[in-house]
Chain A
Amino acid sequence: MSYVLKRLIYGLITLWGAATLVFLLLRITPADPVELILGENAQPAQIQELRSELGLDRPIYIQYITYLKGLTRADLGRSILSRERVSSIILSHLSPTIYLALISIIFTVFISFPLGLLASLHRRFNLPASFFSTFGLAIPNFWLGPILILVFSVQLRLFPVSGVGSFEHYILPAVTLSTGLSAYLTRIIKKSLEEEKTKGYYLALLSRGFSKAYIFRKHLLPNAMIPIITVIGLQTGALLTGAIVTERIFSIPGIGSLLIKAVTQRDYPVVQGVVLFISSIYILTNLFVDLIYSLIDPRIRVGGKVED
């Protein structure tokens, strides 16, 4: 069986596992969602009605099968409050989050690659790079965001305070979100390049008279890219969860705001849908990263796993 096929099947199993975990989480909570939705003064008849409407009166394995069947048709149920389909609610909140994520990724790559490369090439960039990466990792984005608003929106009046609409609206949120990510990525880039330099082939190539620039371009960078790409893949998780916080700071009506709103309104089908949606994206990105991996590094395609 080819590596790609194997990885795809594994990805599907993981998705199924994630869906099961979300299903179980909603069932093992001590609180009865129906009572929470209707409040304390609900009539028994009302409770019965909502229970059967949500399918909660049926045996748990039937609930589970209906749930999985729905998922195969991208049917995540309906919102309890607005009666809309959860899938269409998610779609309508998707574009701000996508913009925010994309701009943040671009910022992250443009900050961390030059900084990480410079730091590994020249000693004098070491201090600024490590200063930035420690500082960036330590600063909580929900503290950085308000400070940026205070300085750039209120004092300097360069950017809008909150909301969406134009590219300018996304600059401060993207800076907020990408600070932590690029701090981490800078560190990884620097570390993995330095690690490659300690390997035997680097010294061997140097002693055979290849120029440093050539070795860097042809050997160091391609080898160092493997851990870097893994980290970028794993960072989608941080990106998506960071977006939840960042969207709240800048009042961006994206997936994260939707999730928090649904949680406070106890709209469980929406919570379940959004959690499932975010984790699916996370799983799919990691699947995608693994596949890219096999393109970059032929050892994985041929020999199975690379020692990690």
Chain B
Amino acid sequence: MKIRKSGLFFLLIPLVLSLILLFLPYGYSKINLEQRLMPPSLKHPFGTDSLGRDVAKRTAVATFISLSIAIIVVTITGFVGTIVGTISGYTGGAIDEILMRTVDLLLAFPGFLLALSIVALMGGGYWNLIFALSFSGWTSYARLSRGVSIKLREEDFVKSARVIGASHFWIMLHHILPHVFPLVRVQAILSLAGIVLAESSLSFLGLGLQPPIPSLGGMIDDGRAFIFGAPWISFFPGLFLFLIIMGMLLTIEEANSEASFS
């Protein structure tokens, strides 16, 4: 897959900056009340928040936490969705019916609301957040891979494999999945931006990552009370979030047009 360089560039700005800012000699949750609400300076490039914590260090850590959540969620949902969809499409019949009705049910909800309900009931935190964001995310992969599998099921090379005695498992693994995978990969890149946004929205609402772990959304929320006197608390995490999502969207467009053959 070709990746658009301009998008990658936007994505690299926050990543490289975060990597550099990680070297700042402050703890990301180190409270220093003497240094609270300091404007950006050489010592604190993005200023400090209401507890005197260094905004730059927190932003850098939050960027990587955010990306790690997105990557884990994409991996889980892509894996589960592809397996479910491939089995569903290849076997057909009652299994297909049950799995697809489950997918329909989950898609009847706005995905964000479902994730919100789950963290609301289970509590926030890193792994709960990943679970909540994965809960309905796999459905798009399932639909995608099911569609491909149904088409391939009737192909001659699959039938011939069956005739020479290949097991269903072997066929799915060696003849179906290689065709499903390129589409899944595109879908995975497509969904990254949405996951980053959903995660930071939940953290903004106070339901996602819990303090003292920094999150871009949570930092924007923290800064809202000081938006008049100390706008940097919200501004820099927001800017990083914006650049990450923009980078992902711009990288995707190329991927998207390549996937349009389906």
| B partners with A | yes
Whether A275 lies near B113 (C-beta < 8 A) is yes
Chain A residues with CB below 8 A from B254, complex form:
none
Whether B238 lies near A14 (C-beta < 8 A) is no
Chain A residues with CB below 8 A from B245, complex form:
137-140
Whether B121 lies near A18 (C-beta < 8 A) is no
Whether B118 lies near A278 (C-beta < 8 A) is no
- Which of A58-66, A67-75, A221-229, A233-241 participates in binding chain B? A233-241
Whether B108 lies near A244 (C-beta < 8 A) is no
Whether A140 lies near B197 (C-beta < 8 A) is yes
Whether B108 lies near A279 (C-beta < 8 A) is yes
CA–CA, A138 and B252, complex, Å: 12
Whether B104 lies near A143 (C-beta < 8 A) is no
CA–CA, A11 and B170, complex, Å: 39
> Within the complex, which residue of B117, B220, B241 is in contact with A25, where a contact is CB–CB below 8 Å?
B117
- Which of B22-30, B35-43, B200-208 participates in binding chain A? B200-208
Q: How many residues of A contact B (CB 8 A)?
A: 42
Binding site for A on B (CB under 8 A): 104-106, 108-113, 116-118, 120-123, 193, 197, 200-201, 204-207, 217, 220-221, 223-224, 227-228, 231, 234-235, 238-239, 241-242, 245-246, 249-250
- Which of A26-34, A42-50, A108-116 participates in binding chain B? A26-34
Whether B242 lies near A138 (C-beta < 8 A) is yes
Given A142-B204, A143-B238; 11 other pairs, CB 8 A cutoff:
A14-B104, A31-B123, A140-B217, A140-B238, A146-B238, A150-B231, A241-B113, A241-B116, A260-B207, A278-B110, A282-B113
Whether A134 lies near B113 (C-beta < 8 A) is no
Of all A-B residue pairs in the complex, the 6 with the closest CB atoms, nearest first, are: A143-B238, A237-B110, A138-B246, A263-B120, A241-B112, A29-B121
Whether A143 lies near B234 (C-beta < 8 A) is yes
> Within the complex, which residue of A17, A142, A283 is in contact with B221, where a contact is CB–CB below 8 Å?
A142
Which of the listed residues B110, B116, B245, B250 has the most CB atoms from chain A within 10 Å of its own CB? B110
Q: Is A271 an interface residue (CB 8 A)?
A: yes
Contact of A29 with B122 at beta-carbon distance under 8 Å, contacts A146-B220, A150-B227 already known: yes
Chain A residues with CB below 8 A from B123, complex form:
31
CA–CA, A279 and B106, complex, Å: 11
Whether A241 lies near B246 (C-beta < 8 A) is no
What are 5 A-B residue pairs whose CB atoms fall within 8 Å in the complex?
A31-B123, A142-B221, A245-B201, A271-B117, A275-B117
Residue of A nearest to B241 (CB): A140
Residue of B nearest to A195 (CB): B260
Contact of A143 with B205 at beta-carbon distance under 8 Å, contacts A241-B112, A278-B110 already known: no
